[in-house]
Amino acid sequence: MPEPVVIVLRSDARSVGEARRRVRDVVQDAGGHEHLDAVVLALSEVVTNAFVHAGTDVTVLVWATADGTRVEVEDGATRLPARRHYAEAATTGRGLQLVDEVTRRWGAHRRGAGKVVWFEVGDVPGWEADADAPSGAGHAPPAAVHTVTLVAVPLLMHWAWQEHAAALLREYLLYVLDDDVTILDRHAEASKALSLLRDQVPAPVLSDDRDVLMVDAMEPSVTSEAVVLQVPAGSLSDFVTLDDLLRRALDAARAGHLLGPPTQPEIEEMRLWLCGEIARQAGGDPTSVAWVARTDTRETVADQALLTATYAALAATEESLLATDEASVIVAVSPSALRVLGYAHRDELLGRRVIAVIPGRYHQAHIAGITLNATNGRDTLLGVPLAVPMVHRDGAEVLVSLEVRPERLDRDHRVFVARFRPTAARS
């Protein structure tokens, strides 16, 4: 093999374009036209991951011939990427799967104080003995590791939050990139905290079959009685950064500066609980506070003055109709829906979170579903007639035939409208 071409990129997400251009030139000059596109595609994914998750300068080494190309991407973070399996509908975590698809082989190992992610496209002789170094080779264990026990962990909500948080952090990174010289480092720290949780909190097992999914996504299978985290002392500050950046990103989203909507209230509360449990237990308090979603809170209906007439018109129907805004707060309820659910006046429901009328065993499924729809438009159960129970004012359940559809009120406002009718007596 020829000597490698060495490309040093500064810690800036905009350097990804420079990496693509320079590697494309190297491969073209070597005559590797047939595998050029695959090299550039894999390079884009690996270098983007390095900038986003490591936040350090990146060195790219390229060995190119007409028959094949080997690329090594070295950064200053030691956490190795891991192959993961995602449901068919997932739209995150596809980067390494894509690298898997377009390369002959790839891998990662630690090098010095950082790591190398490498891949090969085409025929690259002379590297057959290459293998990933054992995890942790040459590195001393962390000076201290804190054991944190999370109780009553909402696995389905955590899974949805991971996807939403990653998307929100990435969008916030791009929003402040030109004005905040620290954002790449802080984004990398927040991403490391997310990765630590993703690696240690088990993901729920969900089917791609819609009918099976309804059963899979129900309590108690989506809650873990306890999850024990091993948090290195050096990672504690990463969770402080994660909490801070997500607060800032949510403020920016609420102000309309980001494309994505703010997160669900329950998801935000779960984040505060997660980060709070890690900080408190690592600080010496051994007690574990179980997660519980609150159902007794009222919210101020967003843009209430502007949309009061619109919401009232939406509820002026003979159908049993209940509508929520994008934060799952009830904004409209028809007289027929009030009768079915046992309420005397709409003010008893307006401003409440919709989980007040959803049985507890379905809370996570609803919150996760709305979160994933907001993150990437996933709509597995939207527009699908369902037979589900709703909670009556007296706590009993009413079995209804229900269909939920998103409806846009104007350019800036969308609601989720549930139309339903009872199909059996209360239980």
What is the C-alpha separation between 272 and 348, in angstroms, rounded? 28
CB 74 within 8 A of CB 361: no
The per-residue pLDDT for 135 is: 34
Task: Select 304-422's CATH number: 3.30.450.20, 3.40.50.1400, 3.90.1150.10, 3.30.479.30.
Answer: 3.30.450.20
Rg (the chain; Cα; Å):
25
Is the Cα dihedral 419, 354, 165, 135 positive or negative? negative
Tokens linked to 169: 């952090």
The per-residue pLDDT for 35 is: 92
Q: Was domain 5-122 assigned CATH 3.40.50.2300? A: no
What is the C-alpha separation between 370 and 263, in angstroms, rounded? 9
Token match 């891949």: residue?
A: 119
The per-residue pLDDT for 95 is: 58
What is the C-alpha separation between 249 and 242, in angstroms, rounded? 10
Cis amide bond preceding 4, omega within 30 = no
The per-residue pLDDT for 129 is: 42
What is the C-alpha separation between 276 and 295, in angstroms, rounded? 21
Q: What is the pLDDT along the chain (427 residues), one digit of tens a residue?
A: 668 899 998 876 668 888 889 999 999 999 999 999 899 989 988 888 887 776 778 899 999 999 999 999 998 877 777 654 444 333 334 457 778 888 888 988 888 778 899 999 998 876 654 444 333 333 333 347 899 999 999 999 999 899 899 889 989 998 998 898 889 888 988 988 998 898 889 887 765 555 545 556 777 888 999 999 988 888 899 999 999 999 999 999 888 888 777 777 888 999 999 999 999 999 999 899 999 877 666 665 555 666 788 888 889 999 999 999 888 889 999 999 999 999 999 999 998 888 899 998 888 888 888 887 766 656 566 778 888 899 999 999 999 999 999 888 887 778 899 999 999 766 6
Q: What is the 3-state secondary structure (H, E, C) of 36-87?
A: HHHHHHHHHHHHHHHHHHHCCCEEEEEEECCCEEEEEEEECCCCCCCCCCCC
CB burial of residue 343 (10 Å; 0-12, 13-18, 19+): middle
Single out the residue of 359, 11, 37 nearest to residue 217, CA to CA.
359
What is the C-alpha separation between 330 and 78, in angstroms, rounded? 46
C-alpha distances in Å from residue 186, one per residue of 23, 89, 332: 28, 30, 41
The per-residue pLDDT for 335 is: 96
- Angular region, 303: left φ>0, alpha ψ -120 to 50, beta rest: left
The per-residue pLDDT for 285 is: 92
The per-residue pLDDT for 209 is: 56
Query: How do the domains of the chain map onto residue ranges?
Result: 5-122, 145-282, 304-422
The per-residue pLDDT for 409 is: 84
